[in-house]
Amino acid sequence: MIPISYLVLVFLFGSVVSYLITKANRIVGAIFNFLLTFYALFVLWNLEIGHTEKLFSILEGVENTFKVSSLGKYFSIISLIVISLVSFFIIEWIRKKPSRPAAFNAFVLIMSAGIIGVFFSNDLLTLYIFWEIAVLGSFLIVPMGKEDSKKAAVIYVVTSAIGSYMYLFATFSIYNKYGILEFDQVSRFLLNEPSNLFKWFIILFIASAGIAKSGIFPLHTWLRITHGNAPDAFSAILSGQLVKMGSYVLAISLSVFPSTKLLASFYSGVPLLNYILIWLGNISIIIGTFMAIRQNDMKQLIAYSSVANGGYILVGLGVMNSIGYAGGLFHVFNHAIAAAMIFLSFAAVVYRTGTTKIDEMGGLIWKMPWTFVTYLVGIISLAGIPPTSGFISKWMIFNALLTKGMFVTLTITFIGSVGSFLYVFRPLAGVFLGQLKKKHYEVKEVSPVMLIPMLVLTLLTLFIGVYPKPVLDFIVSIENSLGIKPIEYSGTIIKTSLGQWDTLTVFTMFAVGFIIALVLYIIFPRGKKVELTDQYTGGEYLFNYDLYHYATGFYRFLERLYDKHPSFEKLYGMLVSFFKSMGEIINELFYKVSPSGYVFWISIVILILFWVRW
Amino acid sequence: MSALLIAVPLLIAFLFVPLKNKIKYILPFVALFSLILILKLPIEQVNFLGGWKAPFGITLVLDNSSYYSLIVVNIIFFLLSLIPQIIEKDLSLIFLILMASINGLILTGDLFNSFVFLEITSVAAYILSSSKRNYYGAFKYLILGSIAGAFYLLGTLYSYIGTGSLNLADISKNINSEFLAVVPILIFIGLAVETKIFPLAGWVPDVYASGSALTPAILATGVTFSMMYLFGRIFITVFHGEFLNVVYIFGLITVVVAELSALKQDNLLRALSFSSIAQAGLFLSVISMNSYESLTAGYFHLLNDITAKFVLFIIAASIGKSFIKNKTTGIAFSIASFSLIGFPLFAGFRSKLLILKTAFLNQNYILPIILLFATIIEIAYVLRWNIKLWYPDNILPQEKEKTQKLSWNVNLILLIVALVIIVIGFYPDIYLKIAQNIASGLTNYRAYVTNVLGGM
Amino acid sequence: MMTIIRVAAVLLTGFFVGLTLEGVSRKIIARIQRRYGPPWYQNFIDVFKALSKNGITHGWIFDFGILMALGGVIATLAFVPLGDLVAFPGLDNLFIIVYLFAVGALGMAMGMVGSGNPNSSIGVARALTQMLGYEIPYMISVSAVMYYYKTASVSELMLSQQDSWTLLKMPLGGIVAFISLLGMLGKKPFDTPIAPAEIASGPMVELSAKYMGLLMLMHTFSIFVEIGLFVDIFLGISNYWTFLIKFTVIWILATLISSVLPRFRIEQVVKFYWKVPLGLAFLQALFVLLGWVF
């Protein structure tokens, strides 16, 4: 078993190898990528908790190390599952899609190297370094997408930089004050820290990197444009994995630095700081849900849903009791898998049809049934409906909020939950169901190479939904290592103070219900299969059945209610143009003026200087 | 011996006046010669020209800081001389004169003498900047430079009145409060134009963005470095850190203002020149914390900046609208820009960490905030340009035909420098050693005084 | 084995009582409108007649959607305690029931949109929007109840009401839940998704024969789930028989109210639910937090 640091190096050098191989043959390059990421998954799976490796030392007094923690292992395995399966998908997808396949493959590996490093870093600085490597790798891939993707890449990297520089600032404040950066030492020092202000500052600034990355309000605006415009298969990694890096940092700032022990309780055991973060999560849920309902671009729709789900994770983590924290962590898994499934099925659709606009498609279920199945299970999990795994985490979060009596947050999570039924149904109805467009008569199902990863994810979601023990085992070990009371479960029964439920019984009962329905269906006479064009039309004769598909403005009656919503994207746009015009003014005043103007400025400077000095 | 560094380039320049077209091919040898000469020279050596002892005659001082500054500057000249494509034929002479004057500027231990070299440097720079018919920019530079020169001369005069000497070491020994009230201001204004301090850096974008590759490549790297050295020498060694609080504020203002201005530029060279201004401002505010650590951090950062800018400016001036035909060049450009921004793995990251550490050590929390804010803006425009060049939209086929491949020697040198950036990212010791030596030479003014004036 | 018998008992109760009550409600509406009305067993006739005919189908997703809808609702119903008849004791978590219920809704929506008729798509879009309206106040009011009794198990919620009914302890929550119940049942004024005159019965526009029959069954079962939950949570302890009596009363009450009201537009539904019931639900939650429970 090779050490993690070598694994990271293998990825970094592997990126060069991958570049060269892909130059020769892009499919072989993609296969190489898949094998490497799958091997990494295998290595990470077998890691022992507590395994430590020395790396280097940049600041004196700080030994930069890797250490395998339960939390890091959990996140890294989720990430590598997503990345390796998406890499498998890419084997076929790369034949047609990205403009620069060699660079694409190389950057995927650079990004993966950074990701592995992030999850095993034992101190704040190592985490920052690998974090930026991951950002760099992913930033370079984003502009290979649609036309807006160039702008998207800049927005992505700038938002990410805002978060990570706040993080860096906090890191150096810690280093300056305590002279150490290891997580457990920092949390020990923080426990003895008398100044509340400093604790607030540290936790908030560390968390802000996670806020930026996981698309939490007020730094959520990059998700729409980036997820929506990135290369299609890469969106699956962006939403399924990279966003989870943000959740990881949030988990660190809230639980590894034990926020509930550091700060006084504000409302039923939740400190005010956590409460503020929970409220950021709440706002994200609201924004994500209602904006997702409005979108006509399916990738942007799910991008907004990522905002909402990032909010769920933050709410769960923020509550910081046994069940809420477990719910947050479980939701990380669920959303990673579900988002990967959904984006992969979209990638398959785009691969065949070349569009992401919902109302330009329809009836693709008749041509791409397996893609449809992936999407269906993906949205069932995303919307948190049993018997998929998505429900388990939502149930945990609801329970946690209910036991704490946080009714407003509970309301908002309900809105997010019911709202998710609405927005996931929009692509389902618009893209897969309804009338098939004439131009899509020739569309075929994607090849098995693309289907296999999608179906593997589907089965994984269903399996964890019925038998959540593997994930729960991880969560229990994480909660044990962080000193949180672990959640209780036995077999498939999960227990909370509010009662219990049995995933297996629910699934069995669902199967029984389905069989009853099936039996009824079979014993009664068969229906006659008619074409979709054979419809009730109110007596009209239709010439163009393309138009007989309800997809444009699917929820227009609801959208109307909040058409005039305030937009943070616009606000930030205004901020940017404010900075730009400031720059323009400065430029006009100081840099573009004629020589006589300079003489004027020199005299001003001299006057100021003399005035200051005397 | 050290006088040869000034004399040889000048002499060759005069000798080759009739053979202007051939001189291009001499340049590498001259640069190599002076590089070797420097490496042969012993450190801690003072050269009294004409045999006049220290306070009376002109001295050429070679201590830790000037030695390493000379190495840096001459390596830059050497690298540039290996790219004859970017040196227009009339400019080869200027190149030599610039080399001589910069060597002199770094070596000299005399205030008036430094004024002379400053003026020669400026004149050479004016001519350089007028290449590609950029007369307006050069004219601006000329006016500003002349005013600044006048202030510098005034400062020199006042210091002679105040201390009765022109020798830096002697001034350093004899300074008094009356003197300190006037002279630093005058010298500061004199140097502000060359060190690109707001609001006197108006010439920079016009000159750097003329379209010639040589002008920014040499002005933003070698000349800037020598000016920064001179600044450190005068303000740290001679004035013992007096007046640096004002420099600090001006530096910070420069950073913010320049980054904001850069944001809206639609010309890559202009954007880069604003970045150059901002980095200079950052450097000045870092060194004005006036400690060994901060100077190390500052010069380390400056080294990283000029390494990156060397690559960036040459590529920006010689590449067309995209990297389509010049992928290796593009890779060098991207590496340099990542270093400029301070991504981990690249050199800029190490110096940024060092600056942050130093600033926090000095209980200075404003500088990190400004630095990080400025970096965010810098990320926005530098990366936007990267994307624009890597993924150009609607390039016409004819344009694609027209873009030329850069020749192999340019690519090779740029790649080597880019490789250096990555190596420094992992093993910063080489640059760090240079920076530490410069810092120790500048901060240790007692040693300097003793060294020049003899044990008194 | 006992479990299987209990599940069968629940389902059969749902089938017989549900269909009977639907027939009764048709009769009641007819009498209000001064008609004679169909016999009370009319719905049995309808279901079996529909099931025995050869209809038309629009492909496999149409069929699958209907199966998923019926299967989901059957599964949901099995978890609902009918008084003291509890199929899965201890596992009847309220959240499970509410979310399992969504499987059926999703299945129906999917199958109906799969028919390719825009009327059904519009109906489904409206149904989901309406869900966004009623689900939130409903969940808040029952959450307040769950918070008060510190359990999420429906049968425990029922058994906790020894001293008095939840409806009397938390009248605001009860009212909110009842208003939401009307929305869940799709009764007027909240029958916007069906709206026969506007969008040709919405989701059901393409249904015929067997498919219609299966969906009628599904509808019956879902009525049973919705009202059953309300009865269990708000109307005190009951055994199987008192449960059915309370059930009948609520059903008739809902029928009476709906038969005299006109229909809301869909955005009015959402606006209404998010104004009055949601406000009341929050007020109830606040009372519970403050301990102001009668």
Work out the minimum CA distance from B154 to partner chain A, whole angstroms. 13
Q: Most A CBs within 10 Å: which of B204, B260, B432, as the mutation test of the A interface?
A: B260
- Alpha-helical segments (H) within A147-258: 149-178, 183-191, 196-213, 221-229, 232-237, 243-251
What residue numbers bound the domain in which B27 lies?
4-453
- Alpha-helical segments (H) within C205-239: 209-234
CA distance B216 to B211: 9
Q: Is the pLDDT of residue B16 over 80?
A: no
> Can you give the residue ranges of every domain in chain A?
4-510, 573-613
- The answer to whether the Cβ–Cβ distance between C67 and A558 falls below 8 Å is no
DSSP state of A48: P
Q: What percent of chain A has pLDDT over 70?
A: 99
Question: DSSP labels for A260-304?
Answer: HHHS-EEETTEEHHHHHHHHHHHHHHHHHHHHHHH-SBHHHHHHH
The angle, 0 to 180 degrees and rounded to 10, between the axes of the packed helices A322-353 and A469-481 is: 130
Q: What percent of chain C has pLDDT over 90?
A: 0
Q: Is the pLDDT of residue B361 over 50?
A: yes
Q: Is the pLDDT of residue B11 over 50?
A: yes
CA distance B312 to B333: 6
Angle at A33 between CA A32 and CA A34, to 5 degrees: 90
Give me the amino acid identity at B358. T
The residues that bridge with B47 in the sheet, in sequence order, are B60
User: Would you state the pLDDT for residue B397?
Assistant: 65
A498 touches chain C (CB under 8 A): yes
B263-274 pLDDT, tens digit per residue, is 888 888 888 888
Whether residue C137 is preceded by a cis peptide bond, meaning omega within 30 degrees of 0, is no
C-beta neighbour count of A556 within 10 angstroms: 12
- The answer to whether the Cβ–Cβ distance between A499 and C156 falls below 8 Å is yes
CA distance A432 to C116: 10
Q: Which chains pack against C, by 3+ Cβ pairs within 8 A?
A: A
Task: Give the dihedral sign, CA B193/B194/B196/B202.
Answer: positive
Structure tokens at A16: 């060069």
The residues that bridge with B167 in the sheet, in sequence order, are B110
- The answer to whether the Cβ–Cβ distance between B192 and A165 falls below 8 Å is no
CA distance B138 to B144: 10
Partners of residue C7 in chain A, C-beta under 8 Å: 509, 512
What separation in angstroms does the CA of C109 have from each of A182, A249, C203, C215? 52, 39, 7, 11
Question: DSSP labels for B83-137?
Answer: -GGGS-TTHHHHHHHHHHHHHHHHHB-BHHHHHHHHHHHHHHHHHHHTGGG-HHH
Of A395, A415, A560, the CB nearest to C95: A395
Give me the amino acid identity at B186. L
C216-257 pLDDT, tens digit per residue, is 888 888 888 888 888 888 887 888 888 888 888 888 888 888
A556-594 pLDDT, tens digit per residue, is 888 888 888 888 888 888 888 888 888 888 888 777 777
Structure tokens at C255: 């029928």
Q: In whole numbers, what is the pLDDT of chain B averaged over residues?
A: 82
C-beta neighbour count of B198 within 10 angstroms: 26
DSSP state of A526: P
A143 touches chain B (CB under 8 A): yes
CA distance A182 to A175: 10
Structure tokens at A476: 């229990």
Query: Residue B75 belongs to what H/E stretch?
Result: helix B64-81
Among chain A residues, the shortest Cα distance to B140 is held by A595
DSSP state of C261: -
B188-237 pLDDT, tens digit per residue, is 888 888 888 877 777 888 888 877 778 888 888 888 888 888 888 888 88
Among chain C residues, the shortest Cα distance to A559 is held by C267
User: Would you state the pLDDT for residue B399?
Assistant: 63
Q: What are phi and psi of A488, to 5 degrees?
A: -100, 135
User: Would you state the pLDDT for residue B403?
Assistant: 65
Structure tokens at C118: 């825009």
Question: Could you tell me if A169 and B369 are in contact, meaning their C-beta atoms sit under 8 angstroms apart?
Answer: yes
* Contact residues, A window 582-611, toward B, CB-based 8 Å cutoff: 582-584, 586-587, 589-595, 597-599, 601-602, 604-606, 609-610
Partners of residue A437 in chain C, C-beta under 8 Å: none
Work out the minimum CA distance from A103 to partner chain C, whole angstroms. 41
Structure tokens at A212: 């930026």
Question: Could you tell me if A316 and A403 are in contact, meaning their C-beta atoms sit under 8 angstroms apart?
Answer: no
Flag whether C touches B (3+ CB pairs, 8 A cutoff).
no
Q: In whole numbers, what is the pLDDT of chain C averaged over residues?
A: 84
Work out the minimum CA distance from B159 to partner chain A, whole angstroms. 17
Nearest to C284 by CA among C182, C151, C168: C168
Of B144, B257, B372, the CB nearest to A586: B257
Q: Most B CBs within 10 Å: which of A129, A225, A591, A613, as the mutation test of the B interface?
A: A591
User: Counting one residue from A and one from B, how many pairs have CB atoms under 8 Å apart?
Assistant: 135
- The answer to whether the Cβ–Cβ distance between C209 and A527 falls below 8 Å is yes
Nearest to A132 by CA among A152, A118, A150: A118
- The answer to whether the Cβ–Cβ distance between A558 and C267 falls below 8 Å is yes
Q: Which chains pack against A, by 3+ Cβ pairs within 8 A?
A: B, C
User: Would you state the pLDDT for residue B401?
Assistant: 63
User: Would you state the pLDDT for residue A446?
Assistant: 80
Spans of chain A, pLDDT less than 50: none
C-beta neighbour count of B75 within 10 angstroms: 15
The residues that bridge with C153 in the sheet, in sequence order, are C93
pTM of the model: 0.90
Among chain A residues, the shortest Cα distance to C118 is held by A550
User: Would you state the pLDDT for residue B456?
Assistant: 45
User: Would you state the pLDDT for residue B51?
Assistant: 67
Q: Most B CBs within 10 Å: which of A22, A587, A603, as the mutation test of the B interface?
A: A587
- The answer to whether the Cβ–Cβ distance between A586 and B261 falls below 8 Å is yes
Whether residue C189 is preceded by a cis peptide bond, meaning omega within 30 degrees of 0, is yes
Among chain C residues, the shortest Cα distance to A426 is held by C125
Partners of residue A366 in chain C, C-beta under 8 Å: 59
Q: Is the pLDDT of residue B42 over 80?
A: no
CB burial of B122-158 (b: ≥16 within 10 Å; e: otherwise) equals bbbbbbbbbbeebeebbbbbbbbbbbbbebbbbbbbb
Position C194 confidence tier, pLDDT thresholds 50, 70, 90: confident
Give the three-class secondary structure for C69: helix
Question: Could you tell me if C165 and C177 are in contact, meaning their C-beta atoms sit under 8 angstroms apart?
Answer: no
Of C7, C54, C61, the CB nearest to A527: C54
CA distance B429 to B441: 18
Q: What are phi and psi of A185, to 5 degrees?
A: -70, -40
Nearest to A121 by CA among A188, A50, A48, A72: A72
A57 touches chain B (CB under 8 A): no
Work out the minimum CA distance from C216 to partner chain A, whole angstroms. 12
C-beta neighbour count of A467 within 10 angstroms: 16
- Residue partners of B266: CB distance under 8 A and separation at least 6: none
Q: Most A CBs within 10 Å: which of C143, C157, C214, as the mutation test of the A interface?
A: C143
Work out the minimum CA distance from B280 to partner chain A, whole angstroms. 16
- Residue partners of A205: CB distance under 8 A and separation at least 6: A166, A167, A169, A170, A173
Q: What are phi and psi of A500, to 5 degrees?
A: -135, 170
DSSP state of C53: S
Q: What are phi and psi of C82, to 5 degrees?
A: -100, 90
Q: Most C CBs within 10 Å: which of A503, A515, A558, as the mutation test of the C interface?
A: A558
Q: Which chains pack against B, by 3+ Cβ pairs within 8 A?
A: A
Partners of residue B391 in chain A, C-beta under 8 Å: 99, 143-144, 150
Work out the minimum CA distance from A580 to partner chain B, whole angstroms. 5
What's the domain count of chain B? 1
